[in-house]
Amino acid sequence: MAPEIKYTKLFINNEWVDAKSGKTFATYTPHDGSVIAHVAEGDKADIDLAVSAAKAAFHRNSEWRLLDASARGRLLNKFADLVERDAQYLVELESYNNGMLLNLAVHFIQNSSRSIRYYASLADKIQGDTIPADGDLFSYTLKQPIGVCGLILPWNGPIAMFINKVITALTAGCTVVVKPAEQTPLTALALAALFKEAGFPPGVVNVVNGFGPGAGTSLTHHPDVAKISFTGSAEVGKLIQQAAGKVNLKRVTLELGGKSPLVIMNDADLNVAVPCAANGVFGHQGQICIAASRLFVQSGIYDEFVKRAVEFAKNIKIGNPTEPTTQHGPQVDGEMMEKVLGYIEKGKREGAKLLTGGKRVGTKGFYIEPTVFAGVTDEMTIAKEEIFGPVQSILKFDTLEEVLDRANNTNYGLAAGIFTKDINNALQFAKHAEAGNVWVNTYFVFQPQLPFGGFKESGLGRENGIACVEPYLEVKTVAITLPKKF
Ligand code: ADP
How far away, in angstroms, is 480 Cα from ligand 1 center?
A: 46
Q: Is the CB of residue 330 below 6 angstroms from any atom belonging to ligand 1?
A: no
Amino acid found at 265: M
* Phi, psi torsion values for 220, nearest 5 degrees: -70, -25
Q: Is 368 in contact with 361 (CB distance < 8 Å)?
A: yes
What gap in Å lies between CA 466 and CA 166, rounded to an integer? 15
- CA dist 297 → 267, 378, 414 (Å): 11, 13, 20
CA angle 125–126–127, rounded 5-degree value: 105
Q: Which CATH superfamily is domain 261-440 in?
A: Aldehyde Dehydrogenase; Chain A, domain 2 (3.40.309.10)
The reported pLDDT for the residue numbered 178 is 99
Per-residue pLDDT at 483: 85
Give the CA distances from residue 357 to residues 31, 115, 354, in Å, rounded to whole numbers and listed in that order. 19, 37, 8
DSSP 319-336: --TTSTT-SB---SSHHH
Integer Cα distance of 359 and 350 in angstroms: 17
* Cα(53)–Cα(13) distance, integer angstroms: 6
Q: Is 346 exposed, middle or buried (0-12, 13-18, 19+ CB in 10 A)?
A: middle
Residue 484 has a pLDDT of 78
CB-neighbour burial class of residue 107 (10 A; exposed 0-12, middle 13-18, buried 19+): middle
Q: Range(s) for CATH 3.40.605.10 in the chain?
A: 10-256+454-477
From 27, 162, 236, 385, give the residue whose CB has the most ligand 1 atoms within 8 Å, as the site to mutate: 236
Residues 6 or more apart from 288 whose CB is under 8 A from it? 156, 157
Q: Looking at ligand 1, which residue's alpha carbon is closest to its atom 14? A: 181
Choice from 44, 152, 207 to test ligand 1 binding pocket (greatest atom count within 8 A of CB): 152
- Is the model's pTM score more than 0.75? yes
* Ligand 1 pocket residue status of 233, Cβ below 6 Å: yes
Between the CA of 181 and the centroid of ligand 1 the distance, in Å, is: 7
- The 3-class SS string of 378-398 reads CCCHHHHCCCCCCEEEEEEEC
Using DSSP, state whether 342 is helix, strand or coil.
helix
140 Cβ inside 6 Å of ligand 1: no
Binding site membership of 154 for ligand 1 (Cβ less than 6 Å): yes
| Dist. CA 358–CA 120, nearest whole Å | 45
Q: In which residue ranges of the chain is CATH 3.40.309.10 found?
A: 261-440
Nearest residue (by CA) to ligand 1, atom 13, is: 181
How confident is the prediction along the chain (486 residues), in pLDDT tens digits per residue?
899 999 999 999 999 999 999 999 999 999 999 999 999 999 999 999 999 999 999 999 999 999 999 999 999 999 999 999 999 999 999 999 999 999 999 999 999 999 999 999 999 999 999 999 999 999 999 999 999 999 999 999 999 999 999 999 999 999 999 999 999 999 999 999 999 999 999 999 999 999 999 999 999 999 999 999 999 999 999 999 999 999 999 999 999 999 999 999 999 999 999 999 999 999 999 999 999 999 999 999 999 999 999 999 999 999 999 999 999 999 999 999 999 999 999 999 999 999 999 999 999 999 999 999 999 999 999 999 999 999 999 999 999 999 999 999 999 999 999 999 999 999 999 999 999 999 999 999 999 999 999 999 999 999 999 999 999 999 999 999 998 776
pLDDT at 1: 82
Task: Please calculate the CA angle 437-439-442 and round it to the nearest 5 degrees.
Answer: 145
Q: Which atom of ligand 1 is nearest to the CA of 156?
A: 3
Q: Is residue 192 a contact partner of residue 219, using CB atoms and an 8 Å limit?
A: no
Fold of the 10-256+454-477 domain: Aldehyde Dehydrogenase; Chain A, domain 1 (3.40.605)
pLDDT, position 446: 92
DSSP string, 457-477: GGEES-BSSGGGGGGGEEEEE
